Chain A
Amino acid sequence: MGFNARDAVSEFWASHISKLGVALLVGLFAISIYVFASYPLDFGTRYWNSPQHWADYPKAVPPAWTQTFTSQKKPIHTTLVSENPTIRTTGIRSIEFDINFDFRYDDFPQFTSFSISELTHWDDPPIVYVSLVRPDGREVENLLEIAIPFPSADAEPPFTKYVNVPFRTYLPGSPVVHHAVSSFLRKEFDMALTPSEIGRTGPEQFIFGAPDDDGEFTTVLKGSYTLKVRFETFHQDDTVDSIKFVVGGKVFGIMGTDILGRDLAVGLLFGFPVALFIGLLTSTLTTVVGSVLGIMSGYMGGKTDNLIQRVSDVMNNLPQLPILIFLVFLLGQNIWNIILVLVIFGWSGLTILVRSMVLQAKEEQFIEASVAVGANSRWIMARHIFPQVAPFVFTQMIFYTPSAILAEAALSFLGLGDPSLPTWGQILERGFQTGAIFLGYWWWIIPPGLLIVVTALCFVFIAQGLEPVVNPRLRRMR
């Protein structure tokens, strides 16, 4: 089993499959390092699983690039923030924000929302009036009238509110908006629609639309809109830091969003380091345990051999997934438990293979010579036996990586993933459970699966490239 490192590298590099595998691996690592550097470690609990964080995102909309294939342009998600109020001191003191924006799409927004951040008042809280001036010159007056809640009786001024969590109003769900739109329609178009009728159909088509000849609001009024926000204050020192108006798109980002509005691109990116971590850690631990036990079993023989072989025989005779389900279910859905169980039930196959290789290797003369000059067995195992099985063990490690990734994905798909650590499998599971297949949300289902496939394939390719290097008999076959 002569082994020359330089030959091995050139042999490996000769095949296209190895090159492709290595290129993919470099890409996977580059993305993972980027994500690791830019994401907080508690991303799962702090952002991904917090519905509040995704409140202002559109729900279950396809990626924005799908627009290139249609002539009907759907609205792209727009977040408008204003931090520069004008203060009017004539008459009632008021803080005013104006936001101009263009809306030139062929479809209405999915929703609109309005938020206030960092409001400070010294006396009674200000009253907020929001109006929208449309491109046709008509104005939806007092679209929103917000009464800011009073501070508790024992609090002392100044009262500063909404610093971390903005005060948010979701327009389609607000009765005030339904009333305002109803009176707007009566005044401007002489149409009688009750607020609850508007609540049922959603106010967007009336706010952003113009009636056709039949009085149906089906066409979008394209042009520039102005949102006018006025805080009527009761104290001259009251301030508002910023306001935000969100025009919910019907397409979003490069990967779209799920039913909770989560930006799938963000979640999918986070899956890269997690998948590599699970795959590589599990395969490394598994091969270390498997090869150490295999070498011991093969070289030492006797009782050690018997014991290790009995145990690995039992382990090797167990159906992995059911046992995995059983243990993770009982021990708790935690990434360390999953890795631990994968290692415990993964080493046995390798041990059996390594043992049979060691049995051959230990018959070689230079080992007999080592024994004769009095080298101890640990030294022989580490210096003489291990190098002979190392290339094979390394290939097995590469080959085991995708199966660890796939096993975690399978567990996640069955609902046993670690909830604090979003993985591709979990994103798919959420999609499947929400019925994304039957609702046609393909962007929620296809990309995570493809990423699992690409990651797994990367390691399969490298393992395939290594195979003829390790097993020279295969060389003639290619």
Chain B
Amino acid sequence: MKLGRSLLMKGLSLLFVVIVTLFLMNLILGATGFSDRMLTALVNDQVRIQRQTLSQTIQDPVELQRIVDQLEETLIQAYGLDKPWPMRLPQMIWRVMSFDLGHAKTAQTFRGSTLIKDLIMERLPKTVLLITTSVAISAILGLTIGTKIATKPGSRLDRFFSNYSAFSYAIPTWWTGIVFILIFAQTLRILPANGMYSTPPPTVPVARFLDLLWHAILPISTLVLALSGSWIYLTRTMVLNTAQQDFVNVARAKGLPENLVMRRYIIRVAAPPILTNVILGLASSLAGAILTETVFGWPGMGLLYWNAIVTVDEGLIIALTFIYTVIYVVARMILEILYVILDPRVRY
């Protein structure tokens, strides 16, 4: 019972975050006049299209103009442009939530649609693929290496990985990517520097998958290099902290085998705090992915972000900021559930 309640509370507070973000985003959009501009552009777009279709049936220019004006009036009312922006807030919030933000300026989907909604839906899986793969690899590396070096604190290996994590924190992800391209794609010419598939992409599914792997090596290595440092360091520190507790000494004194002590007495206890820190590091993973996509031309939402900045595409930036907030919150929720599973104290 208590488990359900604590998860529900977490879920509600994260939902609250999304709502507050949405509200604040729209407040800023309204106050800076962006929402006016965006909606006006939407209205003008529709009026232009309607005028084109109408001009084929209505020959009289005066009549045409009258109907178009009438249409524009209705649209302005429908979009609430006749009212001041605070009155439009609920409508605007709904618009952002449903990605009903019109067309992107230059970006388009594979099929040629420029609708922001279509764009986000097409790019979302590609970003999720990149992030989850990299985080999974970093987690595995962190947990194995971290626990290993924690057994021999102060050893050469331990010092190496301490320095490694310091570097991993200090090196900008995107610069690592650039250096990788310079080394592996430009100088050695053994890995592709750009995109997700070769052009043209292979048609056989197996070849297509291998091509994807081939293109993913550099972006994923870049992200793993950036993320694994903190995973390793955190695991090491938490394991080391737990290993100094009395109950671990007792377990050892009882003569339990070392790997059993490690698994059941140390890692089991150290896992929740490790996870807490992972939750705190989630934002930087997301940021790293945005930049990595930009460097490697990985056609996910991060690259779309960059495209939106370069082409000054407000609608796209709003949509992306919102979807990233949602992704972040969803990822946090998953980690919270994991946390509850790992830490029995939360349950009882």
B181 interfacial contact with A, CB 8 Å: yes
**Contact of B170 with A453 in the complex, beta carbons under 8 Å:** yes
Judge whether A456 is part of the interface by a CB distance below 8 angstroms.
yes
Are A319 and B295 within 8 A (Cβ)?
no
Residues of A within 8 A of B324 (CB): 319, 322
Supplied contacts A321-B283, A453-B167, 8 more A-B pairs, CB within 8 Å = A329-B317, A331-B32, A415-B306, A442-B182, A456-B169, A456-B171, A457-B166, A464-B162
B141 close to A (CB within 8 Å): no
Q: Which of B10-18, B40-48, B215-223 has 4 or more CB atoms under 8 Å from chain A? A: B10-18
In the complex, A194 has a CB within 8 A of chain B: no
28 residue pairs of the A-B complex, CB under 8 angstroms, read A313-B17, A314-B17, A319-B282, A319-B283, A319-B287, A322-B286, A322-B290, A322-B321, A323-B321, A325-B309, A325-B317, A326-B25, A326-B317, A327-B28, A410-B172, A410-B287, A413-B291, A414-B291, A416-B309, A437-B178, A442-B182, A446-B179, A452-B172, A453-B167, A453-B171, A460-B166, A460-B170, A476-B244
Chain A residues contacting B162 (CB-CB under 8 Å) are 464
Contact B329 A317 (CB under 8 A): yes
Q: Is A414 within 8 A of B305, CB to CB? A: yes
Q: When the two chains form their complex, are residues A320 and B178 in contact, meaning their CB atoms are under 8 A apart?
A: no
Report whether B171 and A321 are in contact in the complex, using a CB–CB cutoff of 8 Å. Answer: no
Interface residues of A in 278-295 (CB under 8 A from B): none
Given contacts A410-B287, A428-B175, A476-B244, contact A437 B317 (CB under 8 A): no
- Give the residues from 395 to 428 in chain A that come closer than 8 angstroms, CB to CB, to chain B: 402, 406, 409-410, 413-416, 425, 428
Inter-chain contact count A-B, CB under 8 Å?
135
Instruction: State how many angstroms separate the Cβ of B172 from the closest Cβ of chain A.
Output: 6
How many angstroms from the CA of A461 to the CA of B244 in the assembled complex?
25
Q: Is A449 an interface residue (CB 8 A)?
A: yes
Total interface residues in chain B, CB < 8 Å: 56
B54 close to A (CB within 8 Å): no
How far does the Cβ of B258 sit from chain A's closest Cβ, in whole Å? 19
Is B240 a contact of A477 with CB atoms below 8 Å?
A: yes
* B119 within 8 A of partner (CB): no
In the complex the two chains form, what is the Cα distance from A476 to B237 in whole Å?
12
* Contact of A438 with B by CB under 8 A: yes
Are A325 and B305 in contact (CB-based, < 8 A)? yes
By a beta-carbon cutoff of 8 Å, the part of chain A in contact with chain B is 313-314, 317-323, 325-327, 329-331, 349, 402, 406, 409-410, 413-416, 425, 428, 432, 437-438, 440, 442, 445-446, 449, 452-453, 456-457, 460-461, 464, 473, 476-478
- A453-B175, A457-B167 as given contacts; A321 in contact with B286, CB under 8 Å: yes
Chain A residues closer than 8 Å to B28, beta-carbon distance: 327, 330
B281 shortest CB reach to chain A, Å: 11
Chain A nearest Cβ from B155, distance in angstroms: 12
B70 at interface, CB cutoff 8 A: no
Contact A317 B179 (CB under 8 A): no
- Say whether, besides A323-B321, A325-B321, A410-B174, A318 and B286 are in contact (CB < 8 Å): no
Q: Are B186 and A437 in contact (CB under 8 A)?
A: yes
Inter-chain contact B306/A321, CB cutoff 8 Å: no
Q: Are B170 and A432 within 8 A (Cβ)?
A: no
Report A-chain residues with C-beta under 8 Å of the C-beta of B241. Answer: 473
A462 to chain B, nearest CB (A): 11
Residues A440 and B166 in contact, CB atoms below 8 Å apart:
no
- Chain B residue nearest to A446 in the complex (CB): B179
A413 vs B305: C-alpha distance when bound (angstroms): 12
Separation of A317 and B20 alpha carbons in the complex (Å): 11
**Which residue among B167, B181, B321, B327 has the maximum number of chain A CB atoms within 10 Å of its CB?**
B321
Shortest Cβ distance from A476 into B: residue = B244
How distant is the Cα of A317 from the Cα of B29 in the complex, in angstroms?
21
* Alpha-carbon separation in the docked complex, A457 to B172 (Å): 11
Smallest beta-carbon distance B302→chain A, Å: 9
| Binary interface encoding of chain B residues 314-348 relative to chain A, with 1 for a CB under 8 A from any of its CBs, else 0 | 10011011001101110010000000000000000
Nearest Cβ distance between residue A10 and chain B, in whole angstroms? 20
- Complex contacts, B305 vs chain A, CB 8 Å: 322, 325, 414
A406, B305: Cα distance in complex, Å? 18
Determine whether B34 belongs to the interface, using a CB cutoff of 8 Å to chain A: yes
Cβ A414 vs Cβ B306 within 8 A: yes
